[in-house]
């Protein structure tokens, strides 16, 4: 493939390509997957695709509730995916955008559309999606713990710290892919 970048940018071509795939994937999602936080309906080009999002929102809520209960938090999970701390009464509502499906989709796009052997992509993408899923469980659990004592910190942790940590994880998984499967130098 011909490199169209100026000479000064060529050492960064892998990262630039990563960023292009990430941004295109993000905006494709932003424009074509439609739903709001208070709505259980999610559409893609007008088709209702809510089922997997609603299933995963419930799944994430149940797993998070189980983890917090196991480590000793006094919490309740209601049928609307609201996890409430019974003493402080602070709560989080697990909605479709908390599922990690978008991040799994972005990770899939990055590896699928990036260079590298397809045979390795067939196992690397599922492993990466499992890591994204586990990080999402960690993220929702941490946010739920934090809002018990510090509800005013919700936006900081949800919209800034853990959101960018999520994309940092995706970058690290991609960097490992790039290092081990794309940029391999032949042995001399």
**CA atoms of 101 and 132, how far apart (whole Å):** 9
Q: 86 in a domain, yes or no?
A: yes
**CA atoms of 82 and 96, how far apart (whole Å):** 12
Q: 9 in a domain, yes or no?
A: no
Q: Could you tell me the residue range of the domain that residue 76 belongs to?
A: 51-182
Q: 3 in a domain, yes or no?
A: no
Q: What is the pLDDT of residues 8-50, one digit of tens each?
A: 777 788 999 999 999 999 999 999 999 876 667 899 999 999 9
Return the higher-pLDDT residue of 23 and 3. Answer: 23
Q: 85 in a domain, yes or no?
A: yes
Least confident interval from 18-32, 34-48, 113-127, 153-167: 34-48
Q: 92 in a domain, yes or no?
A: yes
- pLDDT band per the 50, 70, 90 thresholds, residue 183: confident
What is the number of domains present in the chain? 1
Average pLDDT, rounded, for the chain: 93
Q: Which helix (H) or strand (E) holds 164?
A: helix 162-177
Q: 158 in a domain, yes or no?
A: yes
**CA atoms of 49 and 180, how far apart (whole Å):** 36
Q: 169 in a domain, yes or no?
A: yes
Enter the pTM of the model.
0.89
Mean pLDDT (whole number) for 122-145: 98
């Amino acid at each position: 493939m011909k490199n169209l970048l100026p000479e000064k940018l060529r050492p960064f071509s892998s990262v630039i390509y990563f960023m292009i795939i990430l941004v295109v994937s993000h905006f494709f999602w932003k424009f074509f997957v439609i739903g709001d936080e208070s709505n259980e309906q999610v559409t893609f080009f007008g088709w209702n695709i809510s089922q997997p999002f609603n299933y995963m929102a419930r799944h994430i809520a149940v797993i998070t509730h189980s983890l917090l209960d196991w480590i000793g938090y006094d919490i309740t999970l209601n049928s609307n995916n609201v996890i409430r701390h019974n003493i402080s009464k602070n709560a989080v509502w697990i909605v479709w955008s908390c599922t990690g499906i978008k991040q799994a989709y972005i990770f899939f796009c990055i590896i699928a559309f990036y260079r590298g052997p397809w045979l390795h992509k067939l196992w690397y993408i599922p492993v990466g999606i499992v890591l994204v899923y586990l990080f999402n469980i960690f993220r929702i659990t941490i946010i739920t713990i934090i809002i018990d004592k510090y509800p005013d910190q919700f936006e900081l942790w949800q919209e800034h710290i853990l959101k960018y940590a999520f994309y940092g994880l995706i970058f690290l998984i991609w960097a490992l892919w790039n290092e081990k499967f794309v940029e391999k130098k032949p042995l001399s």
